[in-house]
Each structure stands twice: as structure tokens, then as C-alpha cells.
Amino acid sequence: MNDTFDLRLDTLRAAYVAGETTPRRLIAELRDKAAALNPEFKLFIHLLTTEELEPYLAALDGKSPAELPLYGIPFAIKDNIDLAGIPTTAACPAFAYMPETSATLVEQLIALGAVPLGKCNLDQFATGLNGTRSPYGECRNSVHPDYPSGGSSAGSSLAVALGVASFALGTDTAGSGRVPAALNNLVGLKASKGLASTAGVVPACRTLDCVTYFTATAAEASQLLALTARLDPRDEYSRANPAWNDGSAFGKVARFRFGVPKPLEFLGCPQSPALFAATVEQLQAIGGERVEIDFAPFLEAARLLYEGPWVAERYSVAGELIEQQPDAVLPVIKAVLEKAPGTTAVQLFRAQYRLQQLKAICDRIMAEVDCVLTPAYPRPVTLDELHAEPVKRNSDLGYYTNFMNMLDYAAVAVPAGVMDNGLPWGVTLFGRVFTDQYLLSLADALQRRTALPLIGGNAFVTPAPTTPARNDRARIVVCGAHLDGLPLNGQLRQRSGRLLESTQSSPDYRLYALAGGPPLRPGMVRVAEGGTAIEVEVWEIPGSELGSFLTGIPAPLGLGKVQLADGRWETGFICEPYGLEGAQDISAFGGWRAYLKSRG
């Protein structure tokens, strides 16, 4: 088959509609391609046979892309995620079992029309970030033979990067869905904990585990998350997706604040600092404002993952096998877990208390920005380095990833550059829990801005989104007593409000001092002609506080859409026309503060 055949979701759907291929023909070609690649890259532990594929293909007979959102879309599955009737190994033959049912997420995808191609190689028991810790072979990088694929979702990343699957499922406890994405020019979405069901997943740390998506673009990850973010009764760690984070939240980003760690660490890499600086400039060009943040509490939380009792949580999965069949588990995995049996409940609670302290600190930092930008890792490590120092060099890869699930944040890895030797280089955008679609919107904007070639050398064919992106915060335009320092401003501040900017409305409004006071109240009304620009402020409050704020607004005022001087439309105070009876037109003052000053 054509090695550059475009497997992206939208283009493959279009190919099916146009009759350029069929699921049966495409899947057969992809299976042959995967079988040819496997001896070199070791990406599959089990590639489905023609007979094993038939039920999934037969289910598509008589159906079409119009009926099934993922009709005929090939995907790969990390082999710690169950596919009914296919062994789950977690890269440990002695641990393998035959699941009768598929993982909830796999069931969802198949019901939507997707076709599983096979089970992918991984670092044993998902313990590793490099892709070399498997008895089924080391997974090398898709671009440069001297580097690893990254892990633990090694084969999953390669399945997409090498063009045999449209997307792949991985898992991410400490970076396993982000490090391999960055090393292979992919988007790696580690959604908020609980959004993607982990029922049917072999745990690494069950309280922290996430199922992740590998895709060529952020827009595809957005589509997949929107289709599958569902509360799952099979998974007691499943969480409902808030309305602000549904598929319609993916959109165009405008002004935003992004945190940059201080200090930055690149572990001596000569190229990463310049690549990171270029990415900062790209985000600023998109509309971002850089804010330096103290990164020390994030890094301390990261150290708890492997220095604290969470290693014992990993041991709860593999420990019995280690004790009964020591040789069944790779030596490097045993070395990581060897401290676990001595962990006490006292140590666990002390670690939890410290983690909660750190989370409170980090949450205050995160409240001041829309996301944080970090390198995906300080520097890439070679296969030779991993062989020489397997634990240390693996730890290097996790410098910017290990804290994420500990602190309950969402994250997405994004391609952002290429090193001089051709190795892909990437960054991570992370944000508050349940801001996944907003982060993907930023990732989409960054991908389009950097214009790096996608998998197979493809370029973007779908237009950029035009509707505004949303997150967990609501912006409110105020023009009167809610302005900073005025009597009602406390209603915003008590709801954790933050002043974003002082600006003006578009020149289409009139401002009135309403009758019926005290207190004095302004009313801003949009007019067809004779308007002027009015001084306003844009504030931001948590979306969960918007309802209580709205219900406290007295008639004839309310919240609607207000156009700002730069053409943006934001939610803001408006006045019902009936409220203007007896009102004084004060538009000539240009704003409420000037009017109040004129009154002495």
C-alpha cells in the first residue's frame, strides 16, 4: 500500500465515502504492513489474524460513515488493556490471561465502528518511560534508530507514527502517554483522571492511571475524547465530564495566560533550550501571555511517586508474581518495586498529607494561568544510555511528567520541533482538571502555527476552528459597580474572580444612570447608531460560580453578550430596554468611573 496513505480520522472517512478504499481492503493492507514492520520495531505483541479481525469487519457490513462516527477506523491497543478473546500480557508472559470481555473504552470504540488491529508492546507492567523494558523486544524510535520509542506505551505510539493505525490507546500513570508521543511526532492526550474509563485495564497505580490517545493531530484527540468521555459504572474511579468540557469546547483560542517553569531544566541538552524558547514565542504569537511560575512544588510532588508509598500500589499488581516466580519479572522492574514490601501505613498517610499540601500550593498557581507549558522531557536519551543506566536515564525522561496525575491535572503532549539529528521534539501543555478540550484547542493552535509535517509528511487539510474555545472559567464584562475597587466588586472576588484586562466596548453602546436608586446603577445598551465606546473590565470567575452570580443580578440588568473594542464577544452586563425609563444618558463620560468622579 501507499506508505503515506492518510489515516487521519477526517481524511479516512472522506476516502471511505469517496470509495477510494473499504475497511476490509484497508485493514488487510495495514495488517500486512504491520507484520512487515514488527521484526524491526517490535511494536505488536499480538497482531490480530484474518479470522480474529473478521467479526469486527462483518459488523460494518451494510453500515456507513454516516451511521458510525468511527466507521472502519483502525486502532491499536496497548497490551495492558483488554480485548475480548485476545491474551492480555502487560508484557509479562507469566502474568498473561484471556479476557472474556473488552475494556469499556475498547467496547465503546468498537461500537462506534473502529476496528482493533492488535495488542501493542509496552514496558513491563507499564513501569517505565522508554520502551526497552519488554521480553517481547525493545521498541526503537520511529525516526532515529539510536533512540527509544519512549514508553511505557511504546508500541501504541509506533503504531500511529509508522502509519498502521489512525489512533492508538495507551496508558499514562507518570508520563507513559506523553513521552512516547513527543519522541515520535505525535499528540499524546492524557485526559483528566476518570474521563476515559480504566475498567479492563491492568493497573499500574489504580488511583492514578489514565487511558490515553495517540493521534497525529490535537483535533483528532478532541473528537475521540468527545465520543468516549462517559461515566462508567464498571469503573469506580470514573468521573462525569462537565458540560464545559464537551466536544463543543474545542475551538479557537484568543487571549490566554500560560505558565513557564522557573527554573527550567534541560539536563545539559544543547538544543532543547532554543526549541523551547521558540515554542514560547509561538504561543505568544497565538495570543498567550507568558507568566513565570515556581516549579518546585510540582517537582516535589513528582518525587513522591517513586520515593513514596505509590510504589507499593504498583507492587500490589505484580508483587505476588514476583514472590512466586521471581524470574518471570524483568530485573529492572523488580529493582523499581523492591522497596515496596517494607512500606508502612504510617508512611502512606504521611505521604498523602504532604501531597495534599503540595496540591494546595500548586492549585493556587494553576488558578492564575490557563495552562502551563513545559518541555516533554529535559533531553532525549539514547538506547546506549538506557542500557548503561536504565533507572537514572528513565527517570530523566519523567522530569516533567511524573507529578501530573498525582496533582490531578489534564495534559497533552504536542509536537513542537525537530532536533538537528531529525529526532522529533515536543512540549506538554497541562492545566486544571477537566480543561482537556481547552488544552487540545491550544495544542491545535500550536500545531497549526509551527506547521510541522504530520505523520507521513501530511499537512493540515481541515480548517482551523472558528468558535471560541472554552475551559472551566467564565469571563464577565463589567461596566459599573462591579469594577475593581467599587462597592460590588467583592461579589467577583469572593468567587475567586480575577481581573484580566481593562478595555473598552466596541463603539456601539450607550451608557445610562438608571432611575430608582439608591444605589446608583449603570445600564449599558447596544444601539444601531449614535453609539460610543464605554470603559469596561473583563473579569474571570470559575464556571461553577456563574449561576450564583447571575441569580443575584437585579432587574432590569442581566448577562448577555457584549462586543469589545477588538471585536470579541464576551458575556457581560446588559440592560433591558424597559429599564431606561427615566434614566440619564451618561455616555459622554465614557464610563462609570468618570461619571462618579463628576458627581464628586
Q: Do 592 and 483 meet the contact criterion of CB atoms below 8 Å apart? A: yes
Cis ω before 518 (30° cut-off from 0): yes
Same domain (yes/no): 298, 167: yes
Contact between 243 and 221 under an 8 Å Cβ cutoff? The reply is no
pLDDT in tens, 186-232: 999 999 999 999 999 999 999 999 999 999 999 999 999 999 999 99
Catalytic residue among 134, 149, 157, 176: 176
598 catalytic? Reply is no
Return d(Cα 126, Cα 104) in angstroms, integer: 19
Asked if residues 236 and 190 have their Cβ atoms less than 8 Å apart, the reply is no
Q: Lowest mean pLDDT: which of 120-134, 308-322, 351-365?
A: 308-322
Residue 339: per-residue pLDDT: 84
User: Could you report the per-residue pLDDT of 1-38, keeping only the tens digit for each?
Assistant: 345 579 999 999 999 999 999 999 999 999 999 999 99
Per the structure block, which three cell numbers stand in for 326? 521471581
Cell readout for 183 is 519522541
C-alpha cell at 61: 457490513
The model carries a pTM of 0.94
Let me know whether 446 and 495 are in one domain.
no
Nearest alpha carbon to residue 168 among 298, 34, 66: 34
pLDDT band, very low/low/confident/very high, at 308 (cuts 50, 70, 90): confident
Tens-place pLDDT, residues 235-271 = 999 999 999 999 999 999 988 999 999 999 999 999 9
Give the pLDDT of residue 241.
97
Largest CA distance in the chain: 88
Q: What is the CATH number of the domain that holds 531?
A: 3.10.490.10
Catalytic residue selected from 42, 78, 190, 359: 78
Q: Are residues 134 and 98 in the same domain?
A: yes
Chain centroid to CA 550 = 30
Query: Residues 523-535: pLDDT tens digits?
Result: 999 999 999 999 9
User: What is the domain count for the chain?
Assistant: 2
Q: Choosing from 102, 134, 152, 506, which is the catalytic residue?
A: 152
Q: Rg for the chain (alpha carbons), in Å?
A: 26
Judgement on whether residues 147 and 283 belong to the same structural domain of the protein: yes
Please state, in angstroms and rounded to a whole number, the distance separating the CA atoms of residues 416 and 377: 12
**Cis peptide upstream of residue 263 (ω within 30 degrees of 0):** yes
pLDDT higher than 80, residue 581: yes
| Same domain, residue pair 301 and 192 | yes
Instruction: Flag whether 463 is in a domain.
Output: no
Tell me the pLDDT tens digit for each residue of 499-521: 999 999 999 999 999 998 778 89
Residues 398 and 498 in one domain: no
pLDDT digits (tens, 9 = 90+) for 346-381: 999 999 999 999 999 999 999 999 999 999 999 999
Last residue of a domain, one of 457, 484, 513: 457
- Residue 152 is a catalytic residue: yes
381 and 487: one domain?
A: no
Residues in contact with 573: Cβ distance below 8 Å, sequence separation at least 6, in sequence order: 476, 477, 478, 479, 480, 482, 524, 553, 557, 558, 559, 562
Task: For residue 426, give the DSSP letter.
Answer: E
Cβ proximity of 423 and 143 under 8 Å: yes
Domain boundary among 407, 431, 457: 457
- Supply the range of the domain harboring residue 291: 9-457
- Same-domain check for residues 390 and 477: no
Residues 92/334, Cβ–Cβ less than 8 Å: no
Query: CA 586 → CA 85, 388, 479, 580, 595, distances in Å?
Result: 74, 75, 12, 12, 7
- 191 touches 410 (CB < 8 A): yes
Q: What distances in angstroms separate CA 593 from CA 240, 477, 505, 557, 590, one per listed residue?
A: 43, 15, 15, 18, 9
Within a domain: 467: no
